[in-house]
Amino acid sequence: MAAVGYSVTTEGAVAVAAATVESVLGVKAHANSGLQLKGFVIAFDGVTASAVPVLVEVCYATFATNSPGTNSTSVTARQTYGRVLTAGFTGAKNWTAEPTTLTAIKEFLLAPDKGVIAYQFPLGQEPDSALAEGFTLRVTAPAVVNLRATMDVERI
């Protein structure tokens, strides 16, 4: 089956407040399609080696409230492979009010002093969303830090 892949990024640094749960990047499928999360990248620009690690969560999102573009800044989906098609989903960054309902499907700690992770889900084990739902990257940082992130998805 031919696939069409897209990438969304924070399109610049996102400042994360101390001790605050924040969705920093997310994607939501339109009503006639779902999304498959292929992978993600998240990187911090902290400089203090003794800083407490940041909790990073990859979340499934129903977007019952605060869909991309509501209490967040829209980002552009960029096609990375496959037949040229309209994206069929929306993306956003830096929510000021958390979307609902979020369910963490993967969580880990990452050092804020230049910590970076690039993760690709194993073939056949990529999470997928229902119609009009999607995914977010959510962080909780003990101290103020900036980050950049990317999510790679396929429309299904």
pLDDT tens, residue by residue, 6-59: 999 999 999 999 999 999 999 999 999 999 999 999 999 999 989 999 999 999
> Residue 114 contacts by C-beta under 8 Å, 6 or more apart in sequence?
43, 44, 45, 46, 47
Average pLDDT, the chain: 96
∠ Cα 6 10 13 (to 5°): 155
Calpha distance 88→4 (Å, rounded): 11
pLDDT at 70: 96
- Give the model confidence (pLDDT) of 67-77 as tens digits: 999 999 999 99
Say if residues 94 and 19 touch (Cβ distance below 8 Å): no
- The CB density around residue 126, as the number of other CB atoms within 10 Å, is 17
Residue 94: what residue type?
N
* β-bridge pairing 89-93 and 73-75: antiparallel
Using CA atoms of 18, 40, 44, 61 in order, give the dihedral in degrees to the nearest 10: -10
Q: What's the rounded mean pLDDT across residues 100-125?
A: 96
pLDDT at 93: 98
Name the band, by pLDDT with cuts 50, 70 and 90, for residue 86: confident
Domain count, the chain: 1
pLDDT at 3: 87
Look up tokens 């080696």; give the residue: 49
- Provide the domain limits for residue 55: 5-155
Q: Specify the CATH number for the domain of residue 26.
A: 2.60.120
If phi over 0 gives left and psi between -120 and 50 gives alpha, with beta otherwise, what is residue 100?
A: beta
- Global pTM reads 0.95
Residue 63: what residue type?
F
Measured in whole angstroms, how far is the alpha carbon of residue 94 from the centre of its chain? Answer: 10
Q: Give yes or no for a cis peptide into 48 (omega within 30° of 0).
A: no
With 60 as the cut, is the pLDDT of residue 1 above it?
Answer: no
With 80 as the cut, is the pLDDT of residue 136 above it?
Answer: yes
